Amino acid sequence: MYIVVTGAAGFIGSSLIRALNARGETRIVAIDSLSRADNFRNLVDCDIADYFDRDEFLPRLADGDFDDDISAMLHQGACSDTMETDGRFMLANNYRYSAALLQHCQDNDVPFLYASSASVYGAGTVFREERACESPLNVYSYSKWLFDQYVRRLLPDRTSQIAGFRYFNVYGPREGYKGRMASVVWHFFHQYRAAGKVQLFEGSGGYAAGEQRRDFVSIDDVVQVNLDFLDHSERSGIFNLGSGNATTFNAVATATINACRAAEGVAALPFEALHRAGAIEYIAFPAGLRDKYQSYTQADLGGLRASGYAAPMRDIEEGVAKCVQALLAQSAVNP
C-alpha cells in the first residue's frame, strides 16, 4: 500500500514526504507537474517509490491502475497564485481535479487529507469554519472555497476520512521555487542577506505601515497536524490551521533580521532601532493588490482543538529562528 502525495515537489508536499520518511515510510507515490524543471530540487532529499505527472495520474487512477494500492492521499497540489486571472484554469486545477481525487478516495475507502486556504475568509475579521464568515476576494480563494463546499456536502455520508486544512500564512525553508508567492519570512531573509534591509508594504485597511497582522504558522506545525490526522482516521471536517495568533509584519521582519544577526554573533535589536537604522523600510503596494489584500487574519483554532489536536503551536520567534537556520544551511550548500 502506498501513500499518495500531490503537489509533492511543492513546499508543503515535500515537507510532508520528508516527515513521512523520518517515520520510516518510503512507499510514497509523488504527484506533481514539473513544467518548471527546477522544482525537482525539493524532491532530491525525499525517498519515494514512484512519481507521476499530475495530468497522467488522474486517467490512470480512473482506469483502476491504483485500486487497492492506496492507503491514504495527502492532496497538497494546487495553483496558489493569488494574482492568477485565468478562472477556467484555476477552477479546473483547484476544484475539478480535487473533486475527482476525492471521489476516487470515497469510492475506495481511502482517507483524504487536503489543503484548503484561509484566503476563503476574504476581508472578514472573524475566522471560523462557517459559511457566514467566508467571502473569497479572488478566483484562487474562490476555487478553494468551492471545493470546501463540495466537501461539506459529502461529509455527512462519507465512507472514509475527509479532512481539509485552511492554511494561514505558512512559512519554512523549502519554498524558494514559489518566487513572489513565497512567504514574507523567505523574502525578508533573502532581502536582508542581500542588502542589509527588508521591505514591507505601506499601510492598508486602517493599519499603519507594517502593522497589518497575519496569522503566520510554521511548516513544522502544518506537518505535525497533517500527520496527527493521518494517525486518527476517525477525525473528519474542515479545520483552520494557523498559529492562533495575529502577528504584525514589523514583528516578523524583526524576528527574521534578529535570527540572521544571531547567526552572525550580533546582538538582537528592537524594531524601533532596526527601523531607525534603515534595516526596515516601506514600499507601495503592487498595482491591483491593495483591494484584494487581507490586512488581518487570526485562525480560530476551536474546531482543531475540539477534534482532539492538543499540541501547542510555535510562536513567531521560535518558528522564524528555526526557518532562518535551515535557510542559512541551504545557502552554505548552494551559495
Strands (E), the chain: 2-6, 28-32, 50-53, 70-75, 112-117, 162-167, 169-171, 198-201, 213-214, 216-218, 237-241, 247-248, 280-283
Q: Which residues, 6 or more positions from 304, have their beta carbon under 8 angstroms from its beta carbon?
A: 225, 239, 240, 241
Catalytic residue among 140, 142, 167, 192: 140
Domains of the chain: 2-170+218-244+298-313 (3.40.50.720), 176-212+247-293+321-326 (3.90.25.10)
Give the separation between CA 23 and CA 177, rounded to whole angstroms: 26
C-alpha cell at 247: 502577528
Is 197 in the active site?
A: no
Catalytic residue among 150, 178, 207, 293: 178
175-180 long-range Cβ contacts below 8 angstroms, 24+ apart? 175/11, 177/9, 177/10, 177/11, 177/36, 177/38, 177/39, 177/41, 177/42, 178/11, 178/80
C-alpha cell at 99: 473533486
Tell me if 256 sits within 8 A of 192, measured CB to CB: yes
Is 171 in the active site?
A: no
Q: Which residues, 6 or more positions from 328, have their beta carbon under 8 angstroms from its beta carbon?
A: 260, 263
Q: What is the pLDDT along the chain (335 residues), one digit of tens a residue?
A: 999 999 999 999 999 999 999 999 999 999 999 877 778 889 999 999 999 999 999 999 999 999 889 999 999 998 777 667 788 988 999 999 999 999 999 999 999 999 999 999 998 899 999 999 999 989 999 999 999 999 999 999 999 999 999 999 999 998 888 777 789 999 999 999 999 999 999 988 889 999 999 999 999 999 999 999 999 999 999 999 999 999 999 999 999 999 999 999 999 999 999 999 999 999 988 776 766 677 899 999 999 999 999 999 999 999 999 999 999 998 765 65
Pairing between β-strand 50-53 and β-strand 70-75 as defined by DSSP bridges: unpaired
Per the listing, cell 552554505 goes with 332
Give the H/E segment covering residue 190: helix 184-195
Distance of CA 237 to the CA centre of its chain: 18
